Structure 1
Amino acid sequence: MAGTATGDRAHLPILIIGSGSAGLALAQGLHKAGIECIVFEKNASQHRGRDWNMGLHWGAPALKSLMPDDWWDRIQSVQVDPHVPTKELDTLKWLKGDSGETMAAFTFGPFYRLRRSKLRDLLSQDLDIQYSKHLVDITYSDDKQSVTAHFADGSTSTGSILIGADGARSSVRHLLLGPTHGSITKLPYAATFVQRKFPTEQALHLRSFHPLFLASAHPSNTFAFFGMQDAPSPTDPSSWTFFFYISWASSLDEQEATRDWTDAQRLAQQKELAKDFCDPWKSAYEWTPDDAPVWYMGLTSWDPGAEGHAWDNHDGRVTLVGDACHPMTYQRGQGLNHSVTDAGKLRDAIVRIGEGGDRKDVVDAFEEEMVKRGGMEVRDGNANTGMLHDWEKVRLSPLFRKGMSKSEG
């Protein structure tokens, strides 16, 4: 580690497990601070089959602080439509799903709608990333100076601190807490996602409701989102890819019973739900071919503040960030903001350790703040998801009451 740390720990890198947004943002922040780190990714490459987009708003200053000083201007290039300048203030319209009337409109900003794959490509630059590294064990030196990651290919790597940034089903969290307390919590809600291009006339109609994003709650106790995923050409609407879904209350028994459904069955279910929706959902689903690919996901979360969820950080040698620590439901767009905030605060903590701060004390303080902040958002998110799928409670939901603002204790 760079700085004035003493002993063997001064020569050991920081080990980051996972190359998602949180892990890469942290790695960039450490690189910027002159602190050696290595990122380990279980997949064979950075690019995966599925891509989606994420909202960045109150967390933007944290991400900016982690990136090289001259990179922030490039954030426009990773947006779902790089040709639409980010507004200082923008409005998220929320429609009544059956009639299309505006239920609410939240003004906030600046708001960035980022493609996950593009953000990861940007944040991957100039880093030491090792692929096909599936973590299977973590061991700790008797002198309390180091931690070693053990991978499925038989290789190991030793560092001063190991950070689990490996997503909602974190291997690091499982190793720290075991399968009972470390496993993700399944929620009784589900969604099926569609990404689709349309002919020019159809694309122009669908985008006329909002250039980037739109939400809806329906009296049938369903929730929906519609927005852009990719707009490579501002003059060719047929090149635009839209991203949309309808989510619904789905018991765990139902999720298990339908686990082997085909894409065609998933899409047919969505099309049936969309029949009673206003546009753009009604038309988008009508215009989507019955054999179009989709992806389905039951909603999940994990509350770091719940009983039994406190982990041993082994004298400050292991911790968690992002979805590895507080995976949350997505209807209020908070996940990326908390993840990059974690990364910024942990970067600052590691700098303090390098300057002579007691590692355990510093990491304990970092975790205390993160668990309080992230845990509150997980609980808020779970309540929000439940209320958005209960028409009688929609107007009581955190999304309706607070919009996209951060939950405050």
Structure 2
Amino acid sequence: MGDYGERSMTPNVASSVIIIGSGCTGLAIAHGLRKAGIPVVVCEKNAAVFSPGERDWNMGLHWGVPILKSLIPDYAAAQLQSVQVDPNTPTKPVDSLAFLNGQTGEVMVAPEIPNFHRLRRSKLRALLAKDLDIRWNKRLKNLVFEDDNSSVIAVFEDGEHITGRLIIGADGARSTVRKLLLGPEIAPSTRLPYSATFVQAKYTHEQALFLRSFHPLYIAAPHPDGYFAFFGLQDAPDADKPEGWTFFFYISWNASLEQQTTERVTFGNKERLAQVKRKSKGYCEPWKSAFEWVPEDQPAWYFDLTVWDPSLPDHQWDTRNGRVTLAGDAAHPMTYQRGQGLNHSITDAGKLVEAITTEAKLATAIEKYEAEMKTRAGEEVKLSVLNTTMLHDWAKVMESPVFKAGLQKNK
């Protein structure tokens, strides 16, 4: 094992590895290190694993499933079914994802997806948070690298200092760790000229059955007008009560950066929903009815599409002799239309734990991990941008990466 072992520590030192962020990536890393007997503490800026009013969504995990299962405890792996959007229906060995012509409803392609898990983020995080040392309300303020070249201090806004051998930034697309490493000019994600508005909604018994009849989990549709749409299940706690099911759906479109900035200032929820409802009128089912049936005051959320490529020359950070690194969305936020984000994040977790537990020196382990991660994830970030661009250009849709390769891992 690497040279991260315990040493003489002050009383407030809790671990040799400090993970910033209690998202799925950070929690998976924490479990993997804990399995290897490495002391680890997770520091989370929020007060709980899921706070009231916090946005929840679902994520696709497919080729990354074996990696996640290798990191987490057996009891958690056995409970993955319970944190899926439909906990009542066993995962199929092979499923298919239909892409429809958004205007006509015709199936354009339907690639097969082995081991397709559709996971609720809040429930997955709650499952993975068990048995870990998590410090809540810990908002990172600064990193201080000690002169001994082997320790680092995480400084939090509440005044607490925690010293460790390694800090892992797994704190999401707006990573504070990334900002501290690279500065406010380089660290921010790159905005793309695309926007999306999301809705989560419940319906009547009959409406819910109709909407889910198109696919029990997930369908998608580009549109000749340059839109792309997703429709899927968010939560189905009771198989016999469709009126209790929650659906999660969006439409995305080309929007200049200037337009995005203007709408952020001038649009409220009412304007956002009205805008996406207008776009849905030219869509086939289930989007046409799903948007039509929600009331005018239905909550909606909007965000721009952004990326950050860790392989770019000016995006390189100093690990300070293997004392700091990044993982998951903190290292490589990507667009989501090809369903690769969580799979790459969990791969980061597996590769990082493997490097730490097999290399003799921690600096070597971090160097090895980052070399693989930056190449792999950097290629996927670029591919995600290409895929998003082509899905919003009807003349290029059929040649898009997701149409040509489905959700397969980029080779």
**Pair in the same fold by TM > 0.5:** yes
> What's the TM-score once normalised by structure 1's chain length?
0.97
Separation of aligned partners in 2, 1:117 and 1:70: 18
Structure 1 equivalent of residue 220 of structure 2: 215
- Alpha-carbon distance in structure 1 between the residues aligned to 2:31 and 2:225: 45
- CA shift for structure 1 position 46: 1.3
Q: CA separation in 1, counterparts of 2:120 and 2:33?
A: 23
1:117 maps to amino acid: S
Q: Aligned equivalents of 1:4 and 1:223: distance in 2? A: 47
- The answer (yes or no) to whether the contact 1:55–1:112 under 8 Å persists in 2 is yes
Are 2:205 and 1:205 aligned?
no
CA contact (8 A) 1:2 1:35 kept: no
Q: Any gaps of 5 or more consecutive residues in structure 2?
A: none
User: Match for 2:189: what amino acid?
Assistant: I
Taking the TM superposition and a 5 Å limit, the aligned residue runs for 1:80-119 are 80-119=85-124
Q: Is 1:391 equivalent to 2:394 in the alignment? A: yes
Percent of aligned positions with the same letter in both sequences? 55
* Distance in 1, Cα, partners of 2:231 & 2:104: 16
Q: 1:368 to 1:3 in 2, by over 3 A?
A: closer
Question: What SS does the corresponding residue of 1:299 show, helix, strand or coil?
Answer: strand
What's 1:57 paired with? 62
Preserved contact between residue 322 and residue 338 of structure 1 (Cα < 8 Å) = yes
Q: Is 1:120 the counterpart of 2:113 in the alignment?
A: no
1:34 aligns with 37
2:332–2:377 contact (8 Å) kept in structure 1: yes
Decide which of 170, 186, 194 is 2:191's aligned counterpart. 186
- Where do residues 298-317 of structure 1 align in structure 2 (5 Å cutoff)? 298-317=304-323
Deviation string 1:153-206 (CA, Å, 9 cap, x unpaired) is 111100010000000010000000001111111111010100000000100000
Give the TM-score of the pair, scaled to structure 2. 0.96
Q: Who is 2:281 aligned against?
A: 275
**Contact 2:15 / 2:163 at 8 angstroms: preserved in 1?**
yes
C-alpha deviation, 1:12, in angstroms: 4.6
What's the counterpart of residue 344 of structure 1? 350
CA distance in 1, matches of 2:216, 2:232: 8
Report deviation, 1:70.
3.3
Q: What secondary structure does 1:179 align onto? A: coil
Deviation at 1:327, TM superposition (A): 0.4
Instruction: Tell me if 1:330 matches 2:303.
Output: no
Name the CA distance, whole Å, in 2 between partners of 1:231 and 1:222. Answer: 28
Unaligned runs of 5+ in 1: none
Question: Per-residue deviation at 1:351?
Answer: 1.3
Using the TM superposition, give the Cα deviation of residue 35 of structure 1 relative to its aligned residue in structure 2, in angstroms. 1.1
AA in 2 matched with 1:287: W
TM-aligned CA distance change 1:175 to 1:74, over 3 Å: same
Instruction: Indicate the RMSD between aligned Cα atoms, in angstroms.
Output: 1.6
Check whether the contact 1:3–1:351 (CA below 8 A) recurs between aligned residues.
Answer: no
SS in 2 for 1:180: coil
- Alpha-carbon deviation of 1:361? 1.5
Residue 379 of structure 2 is aligned to residue 382 of structure 1: no
